[in-house]
Structure 1
Amino acid sequence: MSRILDVKNLHVSFDTYGGEVKAVRGVDFHLEKGETLAIVGESGSGKSVTTKALMRLIPNPPGYIKHGEMIFEGKDLAKASEKEMQKIRGKDISMIFQDPMTSLNPTMTVGNQIIEPLVKHQNMSKADAKKRAIELMKLVGLPNPEARFKQYPHQFSGGQRQRVVIAIALACNPKILIADEPTTALDVTIQAQILELMKDLQNKIETSIIFITHDLGVVANVADRVAVMYGGQIVESGTVDEIFYDPRHPYTWGLLGSMPTLETNDEVQLTAIPGTPPDLLNPPKGDAFALRSEYALQIDFEQEPPTYQISDTHFVRSWLLHPNAPKVEPPEAVKVRQRKMPSNFKEPVLVEEVQV
């Protein structure tokens, strides 16, 4: 694999009447060609702001990229002009938004909305664009595309509208597809169909996907790697197996503990993370998760933890990994998953302490 995107020390803020809201605080991640990276975390953790910054869709004012680099194919998107970004959006980087009804123009037929990026970015004639749009509608599983091409968004079901949005996003064969919780507004049956569709399409067009979600159950089926966000920072990242079977951050433990499994019973119960996310108008000193963590150490309230490297792919920001930290046991819900660890998964060892 070769790297297509490299985000370094990204900071995104919003100026409000109350002061500066530091929505994203020093985020680092990368994306390889053909892989799916899932960014997970509860509402307000900074997932959507991070990916909208990649598309330069942060409204300015009040929002702005305060610091950092977003290197896409050698170009820093943070420094790109609006004219340059207009050539990239929809062509090289596309986005599927959470609610398909608000993503589609109710006054235009779905066919014309799929044609639009083809005419703008591919310089196709309307006849060729219509032919390609019908092919895309077939590709995403919309029945009778020739007839439905002339219909309006309100004439489609929720799942079908999401398929239309996916067709628009895929029209120009983007190199990166950002999916911002694309299944949240759908029922579980349609969710499964959309997720299966995205996996199938990725294999066909070899695009890289950034998948945003708060549902770890979705992650297990679609992602190659996972980045866990909290308080505007990535607190843990690794392969799917590393995050599910060897999580090291207390916040990741909390997310996994709140997700039901076949083993959930009277002995292994679902747990809730107490408290609320931090106020990023005044970010807490030290570890942002400390106030909600039963495993917090004194230093968590005084100093931000460095990043520890567990393996070549597994990184964690937690003082619990410091050599002098007390040894703590993860909750029972996490231990159950560790007992189900795949036979091909090797227990990683601490490689080094990486200072942030």
Structure 2
Amino acid sequence: MAERILDVKNLKINFHTYAGDVKAIRDVSFHLNKGETLAIVGESGSGKSVTTKSLMGLLANNAEVIGGSIMYHDEDILKKSEKQMQNIRGKEIAMIFQDPMTSLDPTMKIGQQIAEPLMKHKKVEKKKAWAQALDILKLVGISNAEERIKDYPHQFSGGQRQRIVIAIALVCYPEILIADEPTTALDVTIQAQILQLMKELQAKIETSIIFITHDLGVVAGMADRVAVMYAGQIVEYGTVDEIFYNPQHPYTWGLLNSMPTLTSTKLEAIPGTPPDLLDPPKGDPFAARNPYAMKIDVEQQPPFFKVSETHYAATWLLHPDAPKVTPPEEIVRRHQLFAKMTHQSV
């Protein structure tokens, strides 16, 4: 059985605003196993980044954790002081942020920025820290690293800056790496290179990754398991094959239907907008956008229904008494492909 290194249970986070309390995270639970990649996917505003920032103790001043726990090495991160969190950040849990330019200090040489975590967390002297910074700069694929280690962020391209941000995050060999949409600002070719680099580095240093994205296409070659988030809740989770080929939640259907494939002839947008989390709906938060919604969806939140030992979805369509519906054509094709794959592997 895989070793569980992070366990988030019933996490609830509100943001206090002039208009009232925004219920941003509403009873979220998930875990992370050693050496695996867990992808958290969903539209902008679904709560992905807020969830992961809570793991780092980096929530905004107007945020309040009103319930739940984040267990790391049998200790609740939420109960740690800021000083204790400073010893964890960068050393044991590191984060790659979305925009590499705003993640780097424009006034500091990149060698200094990579060496700094080593000097702070590992108490490595400056000369040795710079030598290790040079090693990891080569590891992330920066050419002429010996000369470039003394350059400033503006002297690098976007893809190179993202590699430097990855180097800073990995220099202390953290147990957990949180990648918050690390390829959003990059073109497709550079995206593929960065994703391949992360996979290679993960294998070398045996770190566990939480990968945040709104792009399911990125997830396919990156993740072991996937959690689908909507309106501050996880609505479906399973292995990457289960989510891609046997999705059960209409929201997951919508995300997959809006993703280009080699066989798709047209892309379908999910109609409508996410609910206002100042006043979340009492039923299924996706009900207003769900063409398969039933009366109970408006009245009651669905529980998680078990699809397999590793696959769960919070949709009333999985209730034994629910009417049978035909998913979109692309989803039916995926179901058929999944059935064929599982039949062949038996």
* TM-score, normalised via structure 2 length: 0.98
Letter aligned with residue 3 of structure 1: R
How many angstroms does 1:342 deviate by?
Answer: 7.2
- 2:324 matched to 1:336? no
Measure, in 1, the Cα distance between the counterparts of 2:158 and 2:245: 34
The aligned residue for residue 290 of structure 2 is 293
Counting only pairs closer than 5 Å after superposition, residues 291-330 of structure 1 correspond to structure 2 as 291-330=288-327
How many angstroms does 1:338 deviate by?
Answer: 2.3
Measure, in 2, the Cα distance between the counterparts of 1:294 and 1:146: 58
Measure, in 2, the Cα distance between the counterparts of 1:49 and 1:227: 15
How many angstroms does 1:340 deviate by?
Answer: 2.6
Measure, in 1, the Cα distance between the counterparts of 2:341 and 2:72: 33
How many angstroms does 1:346 deviate by?
Answer: 6.0
Report SS of the residue matched to 1:223. coil
| 1:267-326 residue CA offsets vs partner (Å, 9 max, x unmatched) | xx3211000011111111100000000000101101111111111110110111111111
How many angstroms does 1:100 deviate by?
Answer: 0.2
Report SS of the residue matched to 1:340. helix
Letter aligned with residue 286 of structure 2: F
The aligned residue for residue 26 of structure 2 is 25
The aligned residue for residue 46 of structure 1 is 47
Report SS of the residue matched to 1:310. strand
Measure, in 1, the Cα distance between the counterparts of 2:288 and 2:37: 32
How many angstroms does 1:18 deviate by?
Answer: 0.3
What is the identity percentage for the equivalent residue pairs of Structure 1 and Structure 2? 67
The aligned residue for residue 163 of structure 1 is 163
CA shift in 2, pair 1:98/1:342, >3 Å: farther
How many angstroms does 1:65 deviate by?
Answer: 1.2
The aligned residue for residue 57 of structure 2 is 56
Counting only pairs closer than 5 Å after superposition, residues 104-253 of structure 1 correspond to structure 2 as 104-253=104-253
| 1:46-67 residue CA offsets vs partner (Å, 9 max, x unmatched) | 000000011010022x112111
Number of paired residues?
A: 343
Measure, in 2, the Cα distance between the counterparts of 1:213 and 1:345: 27
Measure, in 2, the Cα distance between the counterparts of 1:66 and 1:333: 40
Letter aligned with residue 331 of structure 1: P
How many angstroms does 1:196 deviate by?
Answer: 0.2
Measure, in 2, the Cα distance between the counterparts of 1:28 and 1:346: 32
Report SS of the residue matched to 1:184. coil
Counterpart contact for 1:263–1:336, Cα < 8 Å: no
The aligned residue for residue 353 of structure 1 is none
Report SS of the residue matched to 1:326. coil
How many angstroms does 1:343 deviate by?
Answer: 4.8
Report SS of the residue matched to 2:259. coil
The aligned residue for residue 16 of structure 1 is 17
CA shift in 2, pair 1:168/1:327, >3 Å: same
Counterpart contact for 1:270–1:333, Cα < 8 Å: no
Letter aligned with residue 28 of structure 2: V
Letter aligned with residue 327 of structure 1: K
Counterpart contact for 1:6–1:30, Cα < 8 Å: yes
Letter aligned with residue 280 of structure 1: L
Query: Unaligned regions of 5+ residues in structure 1, if any?
Result: 348-356
Report SS of the residue matched to 1:222. coil
Letter aligned with residue 252 of structure 2: T
The aligned residue for residue 351 of structure 1 is none
Letter aligned with residue 270 of structure 1: L
Measure, in 2, the Cα distance between the counterparts of 1:340 and 1:320: 21
| 1:249-272 residue CA offsets vs partner (Å, 9 max, x unmatched) | 00000000001111112xxx3211
Letter aligned with residue 112 of structure 2: N
| 1:153-188 residue CA offsets vs partner (Å, 9 max, x unmatched) | 000000000000000000100000000000000000
Measure, in 2, the Cα distance between the counterparts of 1:344 and 1:259: 21
| 1:124-157 residue CA offsets vs partner (Å, 9 max, x unmatched) | 0001100000000001000111111100000000
- 2:276 matched to 1:279? yes
